[in-house]
Chains A and B, each alone.
Chain A
Amino acid sequence: MVATKDMPLKEYVLKGNAACAGCQDMVALRHAHKALEGDVIQVVPACCTSVVQSLWPKSGLGIPVLNTAFMAAAATASGVRAALKAKGRDHTTVMVWAGDGGTFDIGLQALSGAFERRTDFLYVCYNNQVYSNTGTQRSGATPLHAATTTTWFGKTEPEKMLDLIVAAHEPAYQATANTSYPRDLYDKVKRAKEIEGPKFLHIFLPCPQAWNYPVEKGVEIGKLAVETGYWIQWERIGDEFKLGRESKRFQDPEKRKPIEEFLKLQGRFSHLFKPTKDEKKIQELQDYVQHRWDVIMRTFT
Chain B
Amino acid sequence: MKTELMSANYAAARAVMSARVEVVAAYPITPATTVPEQVAYLNEKGLWNGQFIRVESEHSAMFACIGASSTGARAFTATSSNGLLLMHEALHWATAARLPVVLANINRSVSPSWNIHVTHDDSMSQRDTGWIQFYVASVDEFYHTIIQAFKLAEDERILLPVMVNADGFVLSHTVQPYDYLEPEEVDKFLPPYNPPHWTMDPENPVSHGNIVFPEFYQEFRNQMHEAGKNALMVYEEIEQEYKKLFGKYFGGPIDCYRCDDAEVIFTSQGSMGAEAKDAVDELRQEGYKVGNARIRMFRPFPVDKIRELGSKVKGIAAFDRGVSYGFGGHVASEIRSVMYNTDHRPMIKSYIGGLGGRDMTVKDIKEVILDMVKAVESGETGAEETWHALKE
| Nearest-neighbor residue (CB-CB) of A63 within chain B | B205
B114 within 8 Å of A (CB atoms) = no
Pick the contact of B57 from A69, A77, A113 — CB < 8 Å? A113
Q: A40 with B202: in contact, given A56-B211, A65-B208, A69-B93 (CB under 8 Å)?
A: yes
B1 within 8 Å of A (CB atoms) = no
| Nearest-neighbor residue (CB-CB) of B220 within chain A | A56
A residues 71-90 with Cβ under 8 Å of B? 71-72, 74-87
A157 within 8 Å of B (CB atoms) = no
Stretch from B32-40, B59-67, B104-112, B270-278 forming part of the interface with A: B59-67
CA distance A39 to B201 in the complex (A): 9
CA distance A51 to B202 in the complex (A): 21
Q: Which residues of A contact B22 (CB under 8 A)?
A: 82-83, 86-87
| Nearest-neighbor residue (CB-CB) of B23 within chain A | A82
Pick the contact of B89 from A64, A69, A83 — CB < 8 Å? A69
| Nearest-neighbor residue (CB-CB) of A76 within chain B | B67
Q: A63 with B67: in contact, given A68-B93, A86-B50 (CB under 8 Å)?
A: no
How many residues of chain B have a CB within 8 Å of chain A? Answer: 42
Q: Which residues of B contact A87 (CB under 8 A)?
A: 22, 71-73
Pick the contact of A68 from B23, B50, B202, B209 — CB < 8 Å? B209
Tell me the interface secondary structure of chain A in the complex: mixed
Whether B63 and A72, one on each chain, are in contact in the complex, defined by CB atoms closer than 8 angstroms, is yes
Pick the contact of B25 from A51, A68, A78, A92 — CB < 8 Å? A78
Whether A113 and B202, one on each chain, are in contact in the complex, defined by CB atoms closer than 8 angstroms, is no
Whether B216 and A117, one on each chain, are in contact in the complex, defined by CB atoms closer than 8 angstroms, is no
Pick the contact of B71 from A39, A75, A79, A110 — CB < 8 Å? A79
Whether A82 and B64, one on each chain, are in contact in the complex, defined by CB atoms closer than 8 angstroms, is yes
- Per-residue CB contact flags for chain B residues 74-102 toward chain A (1 = under 8 Å, else 0) read 01000000000000011001000000000
Whether B210 and A64, one on each chain, are in contact in the complex, defined by CB atoms closer than 8 angstroms, is no
Whether B210 and A41, one on each chain, are in contact in the complex, defined by CB atoms closer than 8 angstroms, is no
Q: A68 with B53: in contact, given A41-B200, A84-B71 (CB under 8 Å)?
A: no
Q: Which residues of A contact B70 (CB under 8 A)?
A: 66, 76, 79-80, 83
Whether A41 and B71, one on each chain, are in contact in the complex, defined by CB atoms closer than 8 angstroms, is yes
Q: Which residues of B contact A77 (CB under 8 A)?
A: 67
CA distance A117 to B93 in the complex (A): 24
CA distance A116 to B60 in the complex (A): 14
A interface bracket (residues with beta carbon within 8 Å of B): 35 or more
| Nearest-neighbor residue (CB-CB) of B204 within chain A | A64
A233 within 8 Å of B (CB atoms) = no
- Per-residue CB contact flags for chain A residues 230-253 toward chain B (1 = under 8 Å, else 0) read 000000000000000000000000
Pick the contact of B207 from A38, A54, A69, A113 — CB < 8 Å? A54
A132 within 8 Å of B (CB atoms) = no
A67 within 8 Å of B (CB atoms) = yes
CA distance A64 to B195 in the complex (A): 15
B325 within 8 Å of A (CB atoms) = no
- Per-residue CB contact flags for chain B residues 200-242 toward chain A (1 = under 8 Å, else 0) read 1110111111111100100000000000000000000000000
Among A59, A66, A81, A87, the one with the most B-chain Cβ atoms within 10 Å of its Cβ is A66
Q: Which residues of B contact A63 (CB under 8 A)?
A: 202, 205
Whether A43 and B55, one on each chain, are in contact in the complex, defined by CB atoms closer than 8 angstroms, is no
| Nearest-neighbor residue (CB-CB) of B213 within chain A | A55
CA distance A99 to B75 in the complex (A): 28
CA distance A50 to B208 in the complex (A): 10
Q: Which residues of B contact A69 (CB under 8 A)?
A: 63, 89-90, 93
CA distance A117 to B57 in the complex (A): 13
CA distance A92 to B212 in the complex (A): 28
A137 within 8 Å of B (CB atoms) = no
Chain B residues with CB under 8 Å of chain A are 22-23, 25, 50-51, 53-57, 59-61, 63-73, 75, 89-90, 93, 200-202, 204-213, 216
- 7 CB-based A-B contacts, threshold 8 Å: A65-B208, A65-B209, A75-B25, A75-B61, A80-B200, A83-B73, A87-B72
Closest 3 CB pairs of A and B: A79-B67, A67-B209, A113-B56
Chain A residues with CB under 8 Å of chain B are 38-41, 43, 50-51, 53-56, 58-69, 71-72, 74-87, 92, 109-110, 112-113, 116-117
